[in-house]
């Protein structure tokens, strides 16, 4: 076993504190990774504070992991020492169900092993995430970070990037489509960049008019303030696709009415349940759908797409010791647009 330094939460009320954990030595198909950077996702806060009701402790969060392969198991063929690699939101799955064999491991019918606050496939061994200096992962659940992507700015692509890329691809967004992005945060800012690189016309919807300049600088063609009631009249029926990144409660019906006939609204945030008017869907054959991250194959495709179009996250680097302050700032939306932990920094 390899002892490694980490930060962990011990209860929903406690701050994250220094923690020591043991990573397994690489088995035949494992790679041991020296973690260089780990993005801080808002879902880390939800999990640490048990806001989704499924948390177990001690918890080491972090599922936007990038680093360098330290060593490999005897049967590993895909990776070698020194490779630039990433680990996203899950580290294993059953590998035999229809979802897994289709390359959609995130939807594993037996339950994927998420990178933290979960269990390995033995359903006994807890998983610990990337707020740590090392991780051991099966070679099939590791992705390659292209050479032209800076490791620190690539880290958020492992969650925020694939979360926004996957629905754009799966629902067939194409050049010339009018795309709306609801929310300008860690997810939304990458949604803008990805949709723009797909040659679409992008409009950002935000409750904060002060974010207009940022939205346009990130590549959006237009900005619409959701605090202006004329927004929903002026844009009615104007969009082919809307990506909803918001986890706070809001009215889906208002956004569905912005879609054209056969348009699609995709949810990637997790707000509380809300009422849906059937007429918002029926009268223009609109679709309301959801999407969860992406499989290993699609995550690699996303990284290669980002490398081609020079897409990375806008980040602020912090040390592990800064994590509690970072959580406080995130709750105040005081980050543009993703914190990334530098594991070589005190």
Q: Which helix (H) or strand (E) holds 236?
A: none
Q: Quick one: how far is CA 4 from the chain centroid?
A: 25
Tell me if 27 sits within 8 A of 65, measured CB to CB: no
**Mean pLDDT, range 251-260, rounded to an integer:** 95
Q: What predicted TM-score, i.e. pTM, was given to this entire model?
A: 0.95
Token reading at 270: 């997790």
Structural domain spans, the chain: 2-159+313-342, 161-290
Structure confidence at residue 296 as a pLDDT band (50, 70, 90): very high
What is the second-level CATH architecture of the domain 161-290? 3-Layer(aba) Sandwich (3.40)
Structure confidence at residue 275 as a pLDDT band (50, 70, 90): confident
Could you tell me which of 141, 167, 165, 173 has the C-alpha nearest to residue 308?
165
Place of tokens 């936007």: 64
| pLDDT for residue 101 is more than 70 | yes
How much is the mean pLDDT over the chain? 96
In the CATH hierarchy, which fold is given to the domain comprising 2-159+313-342? Quinone Oxidoreductase; Chain A, domain 1 (3.90.180)
Which residues, listed in sequence order, are joined to residue 92 by a DSSP beta bridge? Answer: 113
Please tell me the number of Cα atoms within 13 Å of 92 on its side-chain side.
19
């Amino acid at each position: 076993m390899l002892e490694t330094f980490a930060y962990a939460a011990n209860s929903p009320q406690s701050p994250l504190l220094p923690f020591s954990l043991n990573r397994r030595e690489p088995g035949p198909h494992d790679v041991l990774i020296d973690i260089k950077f780990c993005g801080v996702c808002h879902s880390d806060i939800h999990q640490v504070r048990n806001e989704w009701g499924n948390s177990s402790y001690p918890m080491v969060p972090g599922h936007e992991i990038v680093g360098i392969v330290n060593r490999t198991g005897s049967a590993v063929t895909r990776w070698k020492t020194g490779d630039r690699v990433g680990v996203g939101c899950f580290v294993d799955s059953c590998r035999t169900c229809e979802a897994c064999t289709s390359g959609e491991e995130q939807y594993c019918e037996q339950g994927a092993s998420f990178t933290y606050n979960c269990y390995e496939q033995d359903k006994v061994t807890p998983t610990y995430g990337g707020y740590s200096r090392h991780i051991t992962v099966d070679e099939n659940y590791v992705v390659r970070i292209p050479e032209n992507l800076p490791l620190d700015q690539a880290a958020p692509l492992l969650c925020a990037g694939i979360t926004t890329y996957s629905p754009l691809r799966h629902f067939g967004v194409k050049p010339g489509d009018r795309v709306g992005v609801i929310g300008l945060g860690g997810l939304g800012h990458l949604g803008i960049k990805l949709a723009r690189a797909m040659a679409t016309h992008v409009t950002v919807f935000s409750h904060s008019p002060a974010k207009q300049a940022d939205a346009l600088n990130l590549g959006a063609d237009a900005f619409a303030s959701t605090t202006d009631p004329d927004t929903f009249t002026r844009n009615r029926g104007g969009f082919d696709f809307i990506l909803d990144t918001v986890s706070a409660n809001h009215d889906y019906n208002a956004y569905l009415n912005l879609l054209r006939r056969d348009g699609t609204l995709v949810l990637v945030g997790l707000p509380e349940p809300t009422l849906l008017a059937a007429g918002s869907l029926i009268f223009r054959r609109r679709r309301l759908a959801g999407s969860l991250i992406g499989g290993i194959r699609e995550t690699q495709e996303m990284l290669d797409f980002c490398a081609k179009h020079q897409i990375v996250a806008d980040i602020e680097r912090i040390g592990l010791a800064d994590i509690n302050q970072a959580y406080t700032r995130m709750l105040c939306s005081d980050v543009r647009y993703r914190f990334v932990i530098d594991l070589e920094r005190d």
